[in-house]
Structure 1
Amino acid sequence: MVVSVGTQSTSQLVSRAVSDLARRTRFPIAFGGLAEAGEIHVSSIVGARSHSIEGLVVRAERGLGGRAFVEGRPRLALDYRTARGITHDYDRAILGEGIATLFAVPVVAGGRTRGVLYCGSWSQAGLDASVAQPALRVAEELATELRIRDEVDRRVAMATPRTEQGLPAATREELRESYASLRSIAADVADPALRARIAAVEERIASLTAEPAERAATADVRLSPRELDVLSHAAMGATNAEISEALGLRETTVKSYLATAMAKFDASTRHAAVTAARRAGLLP
């Protein structure tokens, strides 16, 4: 199944993650895929010397990846050929490629394992932090993007089409909840490239509800990322304490961001600032 995340499909997300895995760990071969009906379908391969892994489908609990998938934690086979803690259903594919050491990392998003990423070498190689930590980060980044897909694309796809009176109230609320959740996710992301992709999706959501004529009136107003974070939660009726907890900020810091956002819109209350931000197309 291919589902879009902004302009990205799940197959493209996996392909980029596998490429990142090979680049960051410097293991010569990397591959992986997402789960469908309890099976991992390998959809991207980087560095292979043969075609033995192409089209590989790994069942839950079977092989190294199947164990990682079910357990939701990384699994390592320093010597795959003699590994005893796994089944050897996929020896023809793995040994056919000549892989000696194999590391399987589950992609866990929304509380469930969504796929598995692998990296390996053709000779036995120890696994230290220089390999393990980058591999875990790549899996976490892919999981974050899958969470974004679940939070945004599902709701947007189910949204009632715009009428002459604008989007129905229930749809607007769904989009606003999605936007606030997305801002919370973005606040925990350190990678600049991933933050930029999240920002593009946020703009997509905000643009679904704002009218062009309304945007023009406050087009020169610019909010900082943190001002948007705070205002997006205020728009959902969250108190300062709730916003503080959601974003990991001090309550006094929340008040400061609200004050500067209000000043930029010349608004006397947070509700007036939220309304102005929506008219500007900065909030859905």
Structure 2
Amino acid sequence: MTGANQFSTGADGIDARAAALVRDAVLGDLARRVVDECGADVGLVGVPDRPDRPRAMALRHWAGTRADLLHGLHVRLGTGLGGRALAERAPTWVPDYRAATTISHHYDAAVSAEGLYAMLTVPLLQDGVVHGVVYASMRTVVPFGDVRIAAVADLAAVATRALAGASAWTTATPAPTHARRPAPPARPPELPARLTPRELEVLRWAAIGRTNPEIADQLGLTCNTVTGYLKSAMHKFGVRNRVELTIAARDFGLVS
């Protein structure tokens, strides 16, 4: 499902229309894939009113819903789980939305009408721009394991790159024909700090969804040692959890 769009007119109207169509296709596909590939009962995607400094977002894309109270719902910055992800620009999740004490409950009526309990939200964030927030929701009370969180984060990362490409269509200003020169090759990002071989080895196992006990058994380490390596890697990347760590590692090409 796709909400209404306003297309610009003028010299760049075609590019703006094409970019809007791509955004709708990417976000609609993201909502469906959260349900089809991540085992969620409902997939939602919120679109912010302002990508650079959002104040709110509207739920414009959905899959697996039974009621319509979530359709087009406006979520203010910092409210509910999605508004919190929008404000903090970080993944957030709760095993039981209705009983959660770490979020506001502005949208309980819509959530209850849909029969949702467990909920995960991941922002579609790149270079300080929030392209949206994806929700993965369940109709049961369950904790979100690392594998499912990583799977949703992976889909969000793929969608973010596609949205950034579409956005570039309307922001790039081509130089006059006589002044154009070949663009220099893009420099790969530099690691904030070099990982040790052991940190990298543990990180690669974590990136494919292995739990700390599984990694410890695979590498002949203790769980505390694995946790220590992951915390050290998080510190070097400046991230707060293993989902953000996996995303950062993929951005730097350390994991596939």
Tell me the alpha carbon deviations over residues 163-222 of structure 1, each in whole angstroms, 9 at most, x when there is no partner.
xxxx241xx34xx54x955x979xxxxxxxxxxxxxxxxxxxxxxxxxxxxxxxxxxxxx
**Offset at residue 5 of structure 1 (A):** 5.8
Relative to structure 1, is the Cα distance of residues 6 and 106 closer, same or farther in structure 2, using a 3 angstrom cutoff?
closer
TM-score (norm. length: structure 2): 0.61
1:104 partner SS: strand
**Offset at residue 33 of structure 1 (A):** 2.3
Please tell me whether the aligned partners of residues 27 and 119 of structure 1 are also in contact (alpha carbons under 8 angstroms). Answer: yes
1:94-243 → structure 2 map (5 Å cutoff):
94-155=111-172, 158-159=173-174, 167-169=177-179, 172-173=180-181, 176-177=182-183, 180-181=185-186
Distance in 2, Cα, partners of 1:12 & 1:93? 25
Aligned length: 174
Please tell me whether the aligned partners of residues 19 and 167 of structure 2 are also in contact (alpha carbons under 8 angstroms). Answer: no
Correspondence 1:77 to 2:90:
no
Hey, what does 1:41 align to over in structure 2? 58
Relative to structure 1, is the Cα distance of residues 4 and 125 closer, same or farther in structure 2, using a 3 angstrom cutoff?
farther
Tell me the alpha carbon deviations over residues 65-102 of structure 1, each in whole angstroms, 9 at most, x when there is no partner.
01111111111111111111111111111111110111
2:116 partner SS: coil
1:58 pairs, out of 49, 72, 75, with 75
**Offset at residue 8 of structure 1 (A):** 4.4
- Consecutive unaligned residues in structure 2, runs of 5 or more: 8-15, 190-251
Correspondence 1:67 to 2:80:
no
Report percent identity of matched pairs: 22
Distance in 1, Cα, partners of 2:188 & 2:26? 21
Hey, what does 1:208 align to over in structure 2? none
1:19 pairs, out of 29, 32, 35, with 32
Distance in 2, Cα, partners of 1:93 & 1:168? 57
2:69 partner SS: coil
**Offset at residue 27 of structure 1 (A):** 0.9
Q: CA RMSD in A?
A: 2.7
2:71 partner SS: coil
